[in-house]
Structure 1
């Protein structure tokens, strides 16, 4: 498949990161795609989200051009063909050596791409680039038989019928993976460097999202017994999670509401080790206001980026021969809090969730708990 369109990273006049879609032959901007990406920025989406969307829009435009499809007026059959193509077309080889076996997108990845395509077409319809007939084929009515917790179907069930995506593979929910405290401790040892040990421990201790961690500034770290000299009335070591749109690495806290998260003494000690490592690296790294910075690659002292963090977690996953992703640590923190009896409202506040419905994904029942339940009932029967 040719690369008719490309997602391109650009730097605006104010130094901010912007993503655009360009024609691979002429490098001319695709105006509609670029406007769609600009709308994501206006809604406060992170640069990482914008990058992912730019790649998926460029992929859609390339697919349409290669097949002579009008991107603004695709037919149902053409969109269904795109959906199927996403999982049957081998992915490009990474690096110079071809893979031993071809790689393919998963149905979940295809669903994510189709979601972006649908959003792009709906955005185009608002601006008159896409016809209402095209938008009409993007969804279909669906009857809800199993309602999610807290969902109100209406007095006569009128809200049981909803509009669902027409181009979406049915997936088996794999659940969320969490890590035991022993696995987390092993990963911290495996990381080696003080910065990386602190990042892993921070995510496991606080349940922060990776974007929230990478967006931390040194002024957010209130790690003394009292922070009153800093103008903060919260006692004990803690950190402040704040949403900022001007982080040099594009990191963005998902929640618009700031929150305070307590931290442990052990985490404070790991932070002190990391500060020593920064000082040894030189004044450029030591003086940066961002908490996580480059210490082992150029440019030294630059804010650590999403790709840097992904490389770290991918390396550790390969070394440990097990999955290891930043969100697994967030999930592990939430699961550990809930299993230890922490009130759900407290956990919701620690994680920065607005809706209590977001908490449903975190509570797992493991084999130990099911065995304890069976044995408890048996004991009551034998000793009523």
Structure 2
């Protein structure tokens, strides 16, 4: 892991055999996207891509121009396995805007890659991280690129998408890797239960055994 000056290493902690998942709030996400957009079309495309597809930073680094097709991207993940991911309209627009100003690759080994430096070189993993670090610091949001992946997965699950589909999108072979995103904060739990009607019109719900749903005998 590369540590930049004055940067503390990001640690992933295990608690009760599961990884602690760090996500961005909606406000933090918007701040990061706004700052990335202010810095340039390339930075905007990178952040919209990370938050809009949940791909790993290493996968974004290796994306090629041919991997972006209409509303899909084709990502080569771990084990060189390719997966197809839906490209939201906002992400597609951000990439299209970037492609207009993209610096063409200078060499045969650079020209095919989606993201290039200002001198036409393929962007390295460390270069990507420096961009993410800069946007994070300028936006005032504590951020690591993998948090975008966590946020993407959590948002999909909260919207009701099956954990099986989320696993496919993330490229997880083992479903347990995806289940770490099935977390809920106390505030989330309170909000969700507040929408549930336990009693309707003051009527008690009596089961066949003569007890209501709370286990008490009706009066």
What is the Cα deviation at residue 359 of structure 1?
A: 1.1
Q: Is the 8 A contact 2:64 2:113 kept in 1?
A: yes
Corresponding residue for residue 60 of structure 1: none
RMSD (Å), alpha carbons: 3.2
The 1:344–1:371 alpha-carbon spacing in structure 2 relative to 1, beyond 3 Å, is same
- How far residue 377 of structure 1 moved from its aligned partner, in angstroms, is 6.5
2:113 maps to 1:290: yes
Distance in structure 2 (CA, Å) of the matches to 1:201 and 1:189: 10
1:238 and 2:72 matched: yes
Distance 1:241 1:335 in 2: 20
Deviation of residue 325 (structure 1)? Answer: 1.2
Post-superposition Cα deviations, 1:195-218, rounded to whole Å, max 9, x if no partner, equal: 111111111111100001111101
Q: Does 1:206 align with 2:53?
A: yes
Change (3 A) 1:359 1:105: closer
Give a deviation string over 1:232-277, Cα, whole Å, max 9, x none.
xxxxx101112xxxxxxxxxx3243211101112211111110111
C-alpha distance in structure 2 between counterparts of 1:104 and 1:376, whole Å: 41
Are the counterparts in 2 of residues 255 and 352 from structure 1 also a CA contact under 8 Å?
A: no
Query: Looking at CA atoms only, which structure, 1 or 2, has the larger radius of gyration?
Result: 1
Structure 2: gaps spanning 5 or more residues: 205-219
Matched residue count: 197
Structure 2 counterpart SS, 1:380: coil
Which sections of structure 1, spanning at least 5 residues, go unmatched?
1-51, 56-90, 112-145, 149-172, 224-236, 243-252
| Greater RCO structure (CA 8 Å; 6+ sep) | 2
Alpha carbons of structure 1 residues 265 and 313: separation in structure 2 relative to 1, 3 Å? same
Spell out the pairing of 1:120-159 with structure 2 (5 A cutoff): none
Separation of aligned partners in 1, 2:197 and 2:89: 42
Query: Which residue of structure 2 lines up, in the alignment, with residue 177 of structure 1?
Result: 22
In the TM superposition, what whole-angstrom CA distance separates every residue of 1:45-82 from its partner, at most 9, and x where no partner exists? Answer: xxxxxxx5xx9xxxxxxxxxxxxxxxxxxxxxxxxxxx
* TM-score computed with the length of structure 2 as normaliser: 0.77
How many angstroms apart in 1 are the aligned matches of 2:93 and 2:53? 15
Match of 1:358 among 173, 177, 185: 177
Give 1:283 deviation, angstroms: 7.1
Name the counterpart of 1:271. 95
Cα separation, 2, equivalents of 1:105 and 1:187? 20
The alignment's TM-score, normalised by the length of structure 1, stands at: 0.46
1:309 to partner: Cα distance: 1.3
